[in-house]
């Protein structure tokens, strides 16, 4: 017994785990990581703030400017309203932060508004929330990158003609960094994020000090004022509400932490909640500080110079090193804000894919334990938007906030209903609920329900205002796109459900055993590769037909003579093709065979295929097997078998 050879399975089990081959991708995204490394790829609170809060914090660079763009249509006197409007927006920020902090603890496995809507409102609202969030993430990348490029162009105007190219190059850069993994990209982006915060806090602090001591001054040589209206507007409730809605772009990105809770180290929900509160507090301070200084310095909305650039050179009395530090770091943080979307979009897409609303490929992790397909998809879609809208922040903003605030509204309605079910109905969430819904009964449901209800009303109003006021400016695109995405989700979901029913073994009965193969072997000539295919065909059946498509009578005669000598008695069918078509005659012949096929018979199409050891030379050969597979895959009872013949 000891001398008996080991089984192949036993030999395999003694070997080490297969290692992925090194490729050129390793130079860009690093060595592949095993599944066991997943816990080491989670991030702590400090890195998490840089990864998931960059979007929200960077929005302070353009939120104030968007308020001023609307107010400027009523004249420069209306710019005084920027600070009171900012205070109202900060109150809304507090409500949304509190709401999402509750969401994080109620649904610690991530998913944000999508999961909240799914568990409390139903499948259609959940799909709407998912579509809104995905749209918001795509626009986050487009707006953040475009805004970062705008900062660069403010300081270096001669680069304006290269605005789109610079933006696309930055998108590619962030894709590559994110493909390296959440932890590695977070560490890479954490340093510039904290430098930005420090620079902006110092600038705001200096500006406030100078304002209190009457040494601040106003913007020298202000740029030309830009407004989204062509005629003078009246200061009224509608204009102020429109300015408020535009300024709420400061809230974009708040939901990212709730969508990516699982990226944090354990206890993930606690750490994510702390980071969310940090982010809300920092966001409120920066936003109010910038709005106050914008009013105090007389900064104006302009396409040629951003508000941040104007107030910074006013605070520092010129374009010295501190000015350049703020401008450069603002541009960098705006670019890095896109990283928040690259952290959130793939995770949300993976959840939707796991639930059957998006292609399954988006649910698979790549070699670096990130959702590589989702990252690539986000980069491509954002790049197309940048090209279409020429990297203009003002043109992209009307599209931006509708999806985000629609998700906010659905999330808060869902959370309000959750508290209502728990409190008024005494309903307990099941401990085994999908997506990690918390099972603990919360006795303080009433104030939480009120907070979520008020928040839903506020964000709902903002959504409507954005939709109405910016409809012509491009908001209609998102209003139309979200229903289209929902229809797409439903179609994909129905397909997966139908496929599951067809593959189910519940009513499975064994099909009749195959009794015979009818083999068809297309040949392009008679050579060693043909003989390899013929030998394989003989192992399947004695019923073999070689098929040759005739386009040249002289060449056909040579093939017949060779086949008579080497075909070993196998019949040869010559199909004339006066229009020089190669695949169509073969497909027509196989279709004719299919009509007379017996229930226990399979038509096997055996295709000899040249395989070169130099992979690039394979494109020099006809891809007959590939084309036949495309033509025959949907035909029952027909299989394609490639028989490779290796050549130098």
Given this model, what pLDDT does residue 31 score? 57
CA dist 294 and 307 (Å) reads 7
Say how many residues make up the chain: 648
- At the second CATH level, the architecture of 40-498 is Up-down Bundle (1.20)
CA distances from 364 to 100, 174, 288, 341 (A): 27, 20, 42, 18
Tokens 């508290």 belong to: 419
Tokens for 568, please give them.
Answer: 């070993």
User: Which residues face 641 on adjacent strands?
Assistant: 606
CA dist 468 and 21 (Å) reads 54
Given this model, what pLDDT does residue 26 score? 57
Q: What digits encode the pLDDT tens for the residues 504-551?
A: 777 767 666 666 889 999 988 898 888 999 999 999 888 999 999 898
Given this model, what pLDDT does residue 40 score? 55
10-residue mean pLDDT series, the chain (648 residues): 49 49 56 53 81 80 84 81 91 88 83 86 92 89 84 78 90 84 70 88 92 87 73 74 82 80 84 91 92 89 82 87 87 80 86 90 75 90 90 76 86 89 60 46 74 86 81 81 93 89 74 76 88 91 91 90 91 88 85 84 86 65 69 80 80
The DSSP secondary structure of 86-131, one letter per residue, reads HHHHHHHHHHHHHHHHHHHHHSTT--HHHHHHHHHT-HHHHHHHHH
Cα 609 to the center of its chain, rounded Å: 38
Given this model, what pLDDT does residue 352 score? 92
| In 370-475, alpha helices (H) | 372-388, 393-423, 445-469
Tokens for 385, please give them.
Answer: 């938007």
Query: Which CATH superfamily groups domain 516-647?
Result: HUPs (3.40.50.620)
Given this model, what pLDDT does residue 39 score? 52
Q: What digits encode the pLDDT tens for the residues 217-238?
A: 888 887 877 776 665 666 778 7
Tokens for 298, please give them.
Answer: 């007389």
Given this model, what pLDDT does residue 430 score? 44
Q: How many helices (H) and strands (E) does the chain have?
A: 23, 5
List every span in the chain annotated with CATH 1.20.1740.10: 40-498
Given this model, what pLDDT does residue 33 score? 52
Tokens for 374, please give them.
Answer: 């989702």
Q: Pairing relation of β-strands 601-612 and 571-576? A: unpaired
Given this model, what pLDDT does residue 161 score? 84
For residue 258, the tally of other CB atoms under 10 A from its CB is 30
Tokens for 486, please give them.
Answer: 């929902």
Q: Is 218 left (phi over 0), alpha (psi -120 to 50) or beta?
A: beta
List every span in the chain annotated with CATH 3.40.50.620: 516-647
Structural contact between residues 239 and 250, judged by C-beta atoms closer than 8 angstroms: no
Tokens for 195, please give them.
Answer: 């430098």
CA distances from 287 to 65, 594, 600 (A): 11, 70, 73
CA dist 273 and 271 (Å) reads 5
Given this model, what pLDDT does residue 513 score? 65
Tokens 């705006």 belong to: 334
Given this model, what pLDDT does residue 630 score? 78
- CB-based contacts of 192, cutoff 8 Å, min separation 6: 329, 332, 333, 336
CA dist 409 and 462 (Å) reads 9
């Amino acid at each position: 017994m000891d001398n008996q050879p080991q089984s192949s399975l036993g030999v395999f089990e003694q070997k080490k785990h297969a290692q992925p081959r090194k490729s050129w991708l390793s130079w860009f995204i690093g060595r592949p990581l095993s599944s066991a490394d997943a816990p080491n790829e989670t991030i702590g609170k400090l890195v998490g703030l840089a990864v998931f809060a960059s979007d929200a914090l960077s929005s302070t660079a353009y939120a104030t400017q968007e308020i001023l763009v609307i107010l400027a249509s009523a004249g420069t006197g209306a710019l005084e309203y920027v600070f009171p409007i900012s205070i109202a927006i900060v109150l809304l920020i507090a409500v949304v932060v509190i709401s999402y902090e509750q969401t994080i603890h109620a649904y610690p496995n991530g998913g944000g508004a999508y999961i909240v809507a799914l568990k409390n409102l139903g499948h259609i609202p959940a799909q709407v929330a998912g579509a809104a969030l995905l749209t918001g993430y795509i626009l986050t990348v487009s707006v953040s990158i475009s805004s970062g490029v705008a900062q660069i162009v403010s300081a270096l105007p001669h680069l304006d003609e290269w605005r789109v190219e610079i933006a696309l190059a930055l998108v590619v850069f962030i894709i590559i960094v994110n493909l390296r993994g959440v932890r590695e990209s977070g560490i890479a982006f954490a340093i510039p994020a904290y430098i930005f915060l420090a620079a902006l806090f110092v600038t705001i602090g200096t500006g406030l000090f100078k304002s209190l001591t009457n040494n601040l001054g106003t913007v020298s040589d202000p740029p030309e004022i830009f407004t989204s209206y062509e005629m003078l507007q009246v200061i009224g409730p509608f204009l102020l509400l429109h300015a408020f809605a535009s300024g709420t772009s400061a809230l974009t990105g708040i939901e990212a932490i709730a969508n990516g809770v699982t990226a944090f180290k354990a206890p993930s929900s606690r750490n994510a909640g702390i980071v969310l509160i940090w982010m809300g507090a920092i966001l409120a301070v920066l936003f109010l500080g910038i709005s106050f200084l914008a009013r105090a310095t007389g900064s104006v909305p302009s396409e040629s110079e951003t508000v941040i650039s104007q107030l910074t050179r006013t605070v520092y009395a010129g374009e010295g090193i501190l000015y350049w530090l703020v401008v450069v770091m603002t541009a960098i943080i705006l670019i890095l804000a896109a990283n928040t979307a690259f952290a959130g979009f793939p995770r949300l897409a993976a959840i939707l894919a796991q639930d059957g609303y998006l292609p399954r490929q988006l649910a698979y992790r790549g070699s670096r334990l990130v959702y590589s397909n989702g990252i690539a998809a986000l980069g491509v879609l954002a790049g197309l938007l940048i090209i279409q809208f020429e990297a203009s922040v003002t043109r992209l903003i009307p599209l931006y906030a509708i999806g985000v605030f629609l998700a906010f509204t659905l999330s808060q309605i869902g959370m309000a209903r959750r508290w209502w079910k728990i409190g008024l109905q005494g309903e307990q969430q099941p401990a085994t609920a999908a997506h990690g819904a918390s099972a603990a009964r919360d006795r303080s449901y009433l104030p939480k329900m009120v907070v979520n209800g008020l928040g839903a009303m506020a964000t709902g109003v903002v959504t409507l205002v954005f939709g109405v006021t910016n409809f012509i400016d491009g908001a209609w695109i998102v209003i139309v796109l979200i229903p289209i995405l929902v229809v797409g989700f439903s179609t994909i979901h129905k397909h997966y459900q139908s496929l599951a029913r067809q593959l189910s073994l519940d009513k499975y009965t064994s099909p009749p055993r195959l009794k015979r193969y009818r083999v068809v072997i297309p040949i392009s000539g008679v050579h060693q590769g043909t003989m390899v295919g013929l030998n394989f065909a003989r192992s399947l059946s004695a019923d073999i037909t070689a098929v040759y498509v005739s386009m040249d009578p002289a060449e056909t005669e040579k093939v017949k003579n060779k086949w008579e000598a080497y075909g070993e008695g196998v019949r040869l069918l010559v199909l004339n093709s006066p229009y020089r078509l190669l695949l169509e005659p073969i497909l027509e012949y196989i279709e004719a065979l299919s009509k007379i096929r017996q229930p226990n018979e399979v038509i096997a199409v055996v295709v000899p295929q040249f395989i070169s050891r130099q992979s690039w030379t394979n494109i020099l050969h006809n891809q007959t097997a590939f084309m036949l597979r495309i033509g025959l895959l949907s035909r029952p009872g027909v299989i394609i078998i490639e028989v490779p013949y290796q050549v130098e």
